[in-house]
């Protein structure tokens, strides 16, 4: 019985599937895999570069990717490609429910506990958020130009990459706009105490572009069931 006919291997994580997803597009060296992770996946699945190197070797040992030796001039390099067993694992993974939406956004934790610090510290955090978002937007613009000029490494995947970059650009514009509004809001504050800010806080809530429940209830809102599903606990 071939590996593709066997039961799916256990111990696969989202990082495993992310690496397999990259290799399903085309073969890559480990350096190229890490570089592509920086370009795309790091914004939705941030993992250390060393984890990518370990993971691709683990997947090779499991028979889900194959390694071949190539030479660039006289320099050898190992190039990995997905096997049919690896493709089957991805097909099965695509048929499972997606993990609920989540964000790795340290600035929000700092905002929640901002009154323990100073206004200046909060301003510094928000200014860094804006700077980072604008840096990434400039990078997004360069990626846009790369595809429009037909010179992207994955030009044949433009129909999929356009949808992904649309998400990133939309999210980054949202983050940049939020940081700009928040900086403008706290500019007139003398400190981070609640004194004199209660009514304005309620005004901001009232203006949020989201519908409120049609019926009044005294119960504390709970996140939707989709957000309470058990997430993958692996840190790999």
In a domain, 33, yes or no: yes
Residue 54 sits at the vertex; the CA angle it makes with 49 and 59, to the nearest 5 degrees, is 125
In the block, tokens 């957000």 appear at 227
In the chain, how many domains are there? 2
Averaged pLDDT score across all residues of the chain: 87
16-27 average pLDDT score:
90
127-152 average pLDDT score:
96
Q: For residue 228, give every residue at least 6 positions away whose Cβ sits within 8 Å of its Cβ, in sequence order, or none.
A: 222
In a domain, 62, yes or no: yes
**Are residues 36 and 111 located together in one domain of the fold?**
no
Which has more confidence, 212 or 30? 212
Domain end among 31, 54, 83: 83
Domain end among 27, 49, 83: 83
Share of the chain above pLDDT 90, in %: 58
Q: What is the pLDDT of residues 56-98, one digit of tens each?
A: 999 999 999 999 988 877 888 899 999 999 999 999 999 998 8
In the block, tokens 């060296």 appear at 29
Bridge partners (DSSP) of residue 65 are 82
**Are residues 74 and 152 located together in one domain of the fold?**
no
**Are residues 136 and 161 located together in one domain of the fold?**
yes
In the block, tokens 């085309």 appear at 26
Which has more confidence, 224 or 197? 197
**Are residues 107 and 186 located together in one domain of the fold?**
yes
The helix (run of H) or strand (run of E) holding residue 70 is: strand 65-72
Task: For residues 133 and 139, give the distance between their C-alpha atoms in angstroms, rounded to a whole number.
Answer: 10
What range defines the domain where residue 148 resides? 100-190
Lowest mean pLDDT among 48-62, 137-151, 162-176: 48-62
What is the pTM assigned to this prediction? 0.79
In a domain, 46, yes or no: yes
The helix (run of H) or strand (run of E) holding residue 134 is: helix 119-148
Residue 117's pLDDT is 96
């Amino acid at each position: 019985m071939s590996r593709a006919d066997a039961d799916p291997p256990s111990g696969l994580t989202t990082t495993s599937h992310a690496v397999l997803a990259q290799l399903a597009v085309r073969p890559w060296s480990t350096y190229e895999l890490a570089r592509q992770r920086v370009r795309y996946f790091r914004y939705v699945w941030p993992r250390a570069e060393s984890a990518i190197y370990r993971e691709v070797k683990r997947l090779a040992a499991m028979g889900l990717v194959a390694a071949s030796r190539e030479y660039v001039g006289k320099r050898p390099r190992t190039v990995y490609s997905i096997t049919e067993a690896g493709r089957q694992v991805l097909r099965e993974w695509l048929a499972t429910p997606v993990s609920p939406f989540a964000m790795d956004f340290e600035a929000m934790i700092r905002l929640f506990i901002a009154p323990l610090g100073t206004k200046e510290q909060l301003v510094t955090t928000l200014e860094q958020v804006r700077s980072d978002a604008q840096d990434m937007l400039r990078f997004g613009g360069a990626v846009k130009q790369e595809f429009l000029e037909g010179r992207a490494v994955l030009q044949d995947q433009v129909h999929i990459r356009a949808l992904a970059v649309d998400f990133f650009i939309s999210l980054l514009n949202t983050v940049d706009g939020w940081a700009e509004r928040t900086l403008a809001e706290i500019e007139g504050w003398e400190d981070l105490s609640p004194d004199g800010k209660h009514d304005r806080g309620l005004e901001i809530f009232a203006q949020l572009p989201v519908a409120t429940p049609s019926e009044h209830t005294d119960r504390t809102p709970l996140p939707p069931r989709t957000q309470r599903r058990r997430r993958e606990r692996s840190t790999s």
